[in-house]
Amino acid sequence: MEVNWTRKDLLSLYDLTPEEIVLILDTAEEFKKVSERNLKKVPALRGKTVVNFFVEPSTRTRVSFELAEQRLSADIINMTASSSSLQKGETLLDTVRNIEALQADLIVMRHSCAGAQNFIAKNISSGVINAGDGAHGHPTQALLDLFTIRQKKGRIAGLNVSIVGDILHSRVARSDIWGLIKLGANVTLAGPSTLVPRDFEQIGARVCHNLKDAMVGADVINLLRIQHERQRAGFFPSTNEYARFFGLNKENARYLKPDAMIMHPGPINRDVELDSALADGPQSVILEQVTNGLAVRMAVLFLVAGCLKK
Amino acid sequence: MEVNWTRKDLLSLYDLTPEEIVLILDTAEEFKKVSERNLKKVPALRGKTVVNFFVEPSTRTRVSFELAEQRLSADIINMTASSSSLQKGETLLDTVRNIEALQADLIVMRHSCAGAQNFIAKNISSGVINAGDGAHGHPTQALLDLFTIRQKKGRIAGLNVSIVGDILHSRVARSDIWGLIKLGANVTLAGPSTLVPRDFEQIGARVCHNLKDAMVGADVINLLRIQHERQRAGFFPSTNEYARFFGLNKENARYLKPDAMIMHPGPINRDVELDSALADGPQSVILEQVTNGLAVRMAVLFLVAGCLKK
Amino acid sequence: MEVNWTRKDLLSLYDLTPEEIVLILDTAEEFKKVSERNLKKVPALRGKTVVNFFVEPSTRTRVSFELAEQRLSADIINMTASSSSLQKGETLLDTVRNIEALQADLIVMRHSCAGAQNFIAKNISSGVINAGDGAHGHPTQALLDLFTIRQKKGRIAGLNVSIVGDILHSRVARSDIWGLIKLGANVTLAGPSTLVPRDFEQIGARVCHNLKDAMVGADVINLLRIQHERQRAGFFPSTNEYARFFGLNKENARYLKPDAMIMHPGPINRDVELDSALADGPQSVILEQVTNGLAVRMAVLFLVAGCLKK
Residue C247, Cβ neighbours under 10 Å: how many? 23
The pLDDT of residue C80 is above 60: yes
C-alpha to C-alpha distances, A175 to A13, A133, B310, nearest whole angstrom? 6, 11, 53
Looking at residue B19, its pLDDT comes to: 97
The mean-pLDDT minimum among B69-83, B101-115, B183-197, C278-292 falls in B69-83
Over residues A149-158, the mean pLDDT reads: 98
CA atoms within 13 A on the CB side of A94: 21
| Minimum CA–CA partner of A40 in chain C | C47
The pLDDT of residue A207 is above 60: yes
Q: Render the burial of C180-214: b for 16+ CB within 10 Å, e for the rest.
A: bbbbebbbbbbbbeebbeeebeeeebebbbebebb
The pLDDT of residue C229 is above 70: no
pLDDT (tens digit per residue) in A53-111: 998 878 899 999 999 999 999 999 999 877 677 777 789 999 999 999 999 999 999 99
Enter the pTM of the model.
0.95
Residue ranges of domains in chain A, CATH in brackets: 13-137+291-305 (3.40.50.1370), 139-288 (3.40.50.1370)
Peptide bond into C267 cis (omega under 30): yes
Residues in CB range of B151: below 8 A, 6 or more apart? B288, B292
The pLDDT of residue B310 is above 70: no
Looking at residue A73, its pLDDT comes to: 97
Looking at residue A230, its pLDDT comes to: 59
Residue C80 touches chain B, beta carbons under 8 Å: no
C-alpha to C-alpha distances, B35 to A47, A113, B146, B180, nearest whole angstrom? 9, 32, 19, 26
The pLDDT of residue A281 is above 90: yes
The pLDDT of residue A210 is above 70: yes
The pLDDT of residue A35 is above 90: no
Which H or E run includes C95?
helix C92-101
Looking at residue C107, its pLDDT comes to: 98
Over residues C177-201, the mean pLDDT reads: 96
Confidence class for position A17, pLDDT limits 50, 70, 90: very high
Closest listed residue to residue C278, CA positions, set C243, C246, C253: C253
Residue ranges in chain A assigned as alpha helix (H): 18-36, 60-71, 92-101, 116-123, 139-153, 171-182, 211-215, 239-246, 276-279, 286-305
E-strand ranges in chain C read 49-54, 75-80, 106-111, 127-133, 160-164, 186-190, 206-208, 220-223, 261-263
C161 three-class SS: strand
Closest listed residue to residue C105, CA positions, set C152, C51, C64: C51
Looking at residue C137, its pLDDT comes to: 96
The pLDDT mean for chain B works out to 93
Q: Which chain C residues contact residue A39 at CB under 8 A?
A: 46-47
**Which of B33, B36, B50, B60 has the most A C-beta neighbours within 10 Å, making it the best mutation to test the interface with A?**
B60
Would the CB atoms of A287 and C101 count as touching at under 8 Å? yes
Looking at residue A38, its pLDDT comes to: 85
Strand partners, C76: C50
The Cα–Cα gap between B1 and B16 comes to 16
Over residues B2-24, the mean pLDDT reads: 95
The pLDDT of residue C200 is above 80: yes
The Cα–Cα gap between B243 and B193 comes to 15
Closest listed residue to residue C12, CA positions, set C128, C99, C123, C167: C128
Which H or E run includes B261?
strand B261-263
The Cα–Cα gap between B82 and B91 comes to 14
The Cα–Cα gap between C262 and C282 comes to 9
Confidence class for position C231, pLDDT limits 50, 70, 90: low
The Cα–Cα gap between B277 and B270 comes to 9
pLDDT (tens digit per residue) in A122-150: 999 999 999 999 999 999 999 999 999 99
Looking at residue B3, its pLDDT comes to: 79
Looking at residue C253, its pLDDT comes to: 96
Query: What percentage of chain C reaches a pLDDT higher than 90?
Result: 85
The pLDDT of residue B201 is above 80: yes
**Which of B38, B40, B79, B227 has the most A C-beta neighbours within 10 Å, making it the best mutation to test the interface with A?**
B40
The Cα–Cα gap between C30 and B48 comes to 19
Q: Are C206 and C214 in contact (CB under 8 A)?
A: no
Looking at residue A229, its pLDDT comes to: 59
Residues in CB range of B29: below 8 A, 6 or more apart? B295
Residue C102 touches chain A, beta carbons under 8 Å: yes
pLDDT (tens digit per residue) in B259-274: 999 999 999 999 999 9
The pLDDT of residue B105 is above 80: yes
Looking at residue C310, its pLDDT comes to: 55
Q: Are A48 and A154 in contact (CB under 8 A)?
A: no
The Cα–Cα gap between C132 and C122 comes to 17
Q: Are A178 and A204 in contact (CB under 8 A)?
A: no
Q: Are C168 and C237 in contact (CB under 8 A)?
A: no
The Cα–Cα gap between A74 and A66 comes to 9
pLDDT (tens digit per residue) in B229-240: 656 567 788 888
A140 three-class SS: helix
The pLDDT of residue B179 is above 90: yes
Would the CB atoms of A85 and B291 count as touching at under 8 Å? no
Residues in CB range of B123: below 8 A, 6 or more apart? B93, B96, B97
Would the CB atoms of C267 and B75 count as touching at under 8 Å? no
CA B274, B279, B285, B286 torsion: positive or negative? positive
Over residues A36-45, the mean pLDDT reads: 92
Confidence class for position A235, pLDDT limits 50, 70, 90: confident
